[in-house]
Structures are given as structure tokens and as C-alpha cells.
A and B are shown apart, each in its own frame.
Chain A
């Protein structure tokens, strides 16, 4: 039997023409911060819920020298993160890492890394629903008009309803923001805890929605303001205790069930941040000191 020919892909899977089309959409998105730019989303070898929008954006910007990190809920090790990382290892052969500071491109679902990003980094968000006005106005023609006129009263109606029902703004994920004083934007389902990290970030932030065929962006050092009322100002979630493993405060924590007797602990959602701290010698209430040689190793 003859040998099976190796399946070859163009670099990062997409053909160059498609990448150019996506790059044009990205450039337009950067030029008009927060504005949703339509693009012709391609079929990717993964289902839509898996972040095909983010994957296409990453594929369009990735170069051979880039170092890619992929996170899902703050973790590099979920099925979704591993699958996307493997996809780019196979199709682009780029280096990958779990270390935030070593990455040049970070594709994310549901979190922004705790460590401040730098101007040599790009954060690519996977977006399920890009339209922040959809809750009250399902018609696409009308939402486009509302954006065009900066007619955003409806966003506050939504927040008003929140307060009238719950006594406070109960929206905790995908909390709407105003970008550069113009477009209102859905930041994707990150916790509102992460909203302040978008403001004036040194990194370029790109958002890709595959099924909805939209790309939008926040250029570096852009003002991003979470919508609120004067007497109900925007606030991030607070956690009663520091991370049980690394002792970090002021970071986003996940609850971890320890046993079936109700035992639980709260630990950093950003696993790389936690591991880096532990490697640096920080120890939380339930943590053990980690030899630095084991911490923060590159992904296989």
C-alpha cells in the first residue's frame, strides 16, 4: 500500500484570501472602537459554540513568531482550550504557552487574565452574542439604527429593570460597556469583575462572533466605561476570602467542591496567575509551597 499523503493546511488553516478579508474587518473594527463589523464567517472544523469567531480572528492575525495561549474560564486545561490550542499547533505550528506574560496572542472565553497585559499582546475574545441591545430590541435593522444614532436609552431601561427587580444591578456577566464615549458594546460573557481590565488596557482587544458574523475591537489605551446609574454605580464582585491556594486578594475566584460533606474552597479562576504566585512562594490557607521548577511549565 502506498503511504497516505499528509494532509496539509495553509498556515493557520484559513486560506490567505479569507485571512485578508478578516484582517480588513479587524482594521475597520480597530478604526471604529466598539463598532460591530460584519464579516463573512467561514466554516471551521469545530462547532459554533466552540469559539469559531475567536478562532478565525486568531487565525487571521497569527504569525510564525507568535506565542499562543488559550484560556476558557481562566483555565488553559479545559477541553475547549486544549482543542483550540491543538488546532493552532497542528495548522500553524506556532509555539504555545500557558504563561500569560510569555504569550503574544491570548484567545479567551469568559475571562481576562489577572496579570496586566502589555502593548505587545493581543487578547482575542470568543463571542456568542455580540449585540448588547438584543435583550429589548430583537430587530437587527433597528439595533443597527440605534447604534448609528448612539441611541442607547434602552440599555439603561435594562439596568433599571434589574434594580427594580433585585434592588441592585443583577447583571454579572456580559455587562455592557461604552467604548471611547461612542459605541455601547457587549464585552462577551466575562464576569463584570473583568470589565475594569478592558479600560485603558495596553493590549489590543479583538472580539470575534462566528455564528453572528461580527468582529469588533478595543484599541490599546481606550476608555471603556461600564454603564450604571449615579445612585447605583458599577461595582465589581467582591470575595470574602483570598485564594485558598495562593492567598491572592482582589482576583476572581472559583468555588471548588472538596468532598461530599460540603467542604469547598475558593481559588483563582486564572490558573496561570495562581501557579505563578505559588511558584513565587505565596501560599494560601489550604495551599502547599510549590517548587518553582514545577510551576508554570509550558504546555505540551
Chain B
């Protein structure tokens, strides 16, 4: 691999990615590349395989076949299957992030907001309480949570606040790649719009790449540069978001776009 290829080199590459559940197909033969700073939306209905794909890419699920490679900060592309468990976990809490649809799954509900944001810092060896706390305060501010809520635990937070806290908890180590699974699902429409704005500006500031899974084409249009449409476990169409949504080639994508327009 050529480390000099820099920004033009993909950060994450999946080849022939397949996951079977018994004889049922979770996702089949998916190919994708994600570049630094790029937001890729994976859209589809429930059962389309988009969540399976996200679990595979984030190494939560092992593929039945195919491979995923990741370019480290040293510029070298490595097969994720060759990472040790310790390396994989370090990656997940430093260079990667994962924002879940249900913040209760992505947060420690009995730990204060400051502790939730500070956990990643402590996990990578930071040992100065005052520094950890001021960094947590700073990140709470960036996700529009008042500094005086730092010692409250997320059980006292609204759904939107919990989701913003989960985002701060993930972004505090300035990850290069963030996975998002329906991050605005289950929230009121007005709260959703504000959260999407926040996500867009934060990841743009960090220059992080994002792979976001959503059933909501409006979310994909607002956030993503490129889009992949999945159905029955396979990618049926991909391209630049505006092109795909304005001029869908596949009849199924046309149907999806039409149903959004009709709604």
C-alpha cells in the first residue's frame, strides 16, 4: 500500500461482504469504499440488510465471507480480520465511534454525563481529573448541553439530549470514522432536524467519515454525500446522493423516492 496516497485513499474498504443467518441472507456480496471526511448513507427498508452491514463493518458481527480493510493513521491498509481483540477494541474507542439508535445502549445510564464523555479518555490512559472534566464540559457545550448538567446522569435527560450526549461521548476522541444507526429515529421531527444540523457541523469540523444507516431518505439527503440503496441483502443502487434521489435508476429506488414524495 502507498501511504503517500493521502486524502485520495479510502479509509475503509469492504469486498464481497456476505453474512448468512443459516440459509437466510443477511447481506450478500457488498462492495464499498469510504473516504476520509465523507458521509455515506445506507438506506433501505427494515430487513434490507443495512443493519447487518453496519454490524459487519463495525466488527460487531463476523462476516460469512468477504473482507474489510481499514487504513490506519500510519497510512497502511490492514485487513480487520488480522487485528487482535485488543487492537480492535482500541480502534473502536479511539479512531472509531458508534452512535446507536437507542441511546440507552450507547450510554452508561447510571454514570454522570461527564463520566460518559470522559470514559473514552480514561480508557486510553488519561489520568488528570481536571483535564478530563474540562474536555467533557467543552464537548457538552458542543452538543448544546448546559455545563451545569455535567454531574447529572442521562436518566434525567430528554431523548434528544441523550442522543446528543451519546454523540459527544463518541466524538471526544476525534474519531476518523463514525458509524450511525438511525441516530434520529424515535425523536420528534423538530428535534430530528436540530440533531441532524448538529451532526453535520460536528463531523464536518472533525473531518470524520460517517457511515449512517437510515430508512429515512430525508435524513440521507440532508447529511450524506453518497448513498447506497439496499434490498433483500444486496446493494441495488449507489451513487452521489443528489443524483440517486433526483434521478433514481432502479425501479425499487424510484418506488422509495416516490413514496417519500407522496407522504
Contact = CB atoms under 8 A, between A and B. Distances in A.
Interface in A139-175: 145, 149, 151, 153-154, 156-157, 160-161, 163-165
A23 B119 CA distance: 39
Interface stretch (B45-53, B123-131, B175-183, B223-231): B123-131
A136 B112 CA distance: 12
A153 B114 CA distance: 14
A157 B115 contact: yes
B32 interface: no
Most chain B CB inside 10 Å of its own CB: which residue of A154, A164, A165, A230: A164
B89 A161 contact: no
A151 to B, nearest CB: 6
A239 interface: no
B119 A157 contact: yes
Sort chain A's interface into a size bin: 10 to 19
A238 interface: no
Contact of A136 (B111, B124, B128, B151): B111
Contacts of A160: 114-115, 118, 122, 129, 132
A231 interface: yes
Contacts of B120: 153
A231 B108 contact: no
Contacts of B133: 164
B115 A164 contact: yes
B150 interface: yes
A151 B89 contact: yes
A149 B86 contact: yes
B148 interface: no
A163 to B, nearest CB: 6
A231 B129 CA distance: 6
Main secondary structure of the interface of B (DSSP, over half): helix
B115 A229 contact: no
A136 B118 contact: no
Contact of B129 (A136, A153, A163): A163
Contacts of A157: 108, 111, 115, 118-119, 122
Contacts of A154: 119, 123
A154 B132 CA distance: 14
Interface in A244-288: none
Nearest to B133: A164
A231 B128 contact: yes
B85 A149 contact: yes
Most chain B CB inside 10 Å of its own CB: which residue of A136, A149, A160, A230: A160
A164 B112 contact: yes
Interface in B117-161: 118-120, 122-124, 127-130, 132-133, 150-151
B81 to A, nearest CB: 18
B89 A229 contact: no
A297 interface: no
A232 interface: yes
A16 B108 CA distance: 47
Nearest to A163: B129
A136 B110 CA distance: 9
Contacts of B118: 157, 160
Contacts of B111: 136, 157, 161
Contact of A153 (B112, B122, B151): B122
Nearest to A169: B129
B123 A232 contact: no
B173 to A, nearest CB: 12
Interface string A219-232: 00000000011111
A194 B115 CA distance: 28
A164 B111 CA distance: 11
A156 B127 contact: yes
A153 B130 contact: no
A230 B131 CA distance: 10
Interface in A1-24: none
Q: Which 7 A-B pairs have the closest CB atoms?
A: A153-B123, A156-B122, A229-B129, A153-B122, A230-B128, A149-B86, A164-B151
Given A151-B86, A157-B118, 13 more contacts: A149-B85, A149-B86, A149-B89, A157-B119, A157-B122, A160-B118, A160-B129, A161-B115, A164-B115, A165-B151, A229-B129, A230-B127, A231-B129
17 contacts: A136-B108, A145-B85, A149-B85, A149-B86, A151-B86, A153-B122, A154-B119, A154-B123, A156-B122, A157-B108, A157-B115, A163-B129, A164-B112, A165-B112, A165-B151, A229-B129, A230-B128
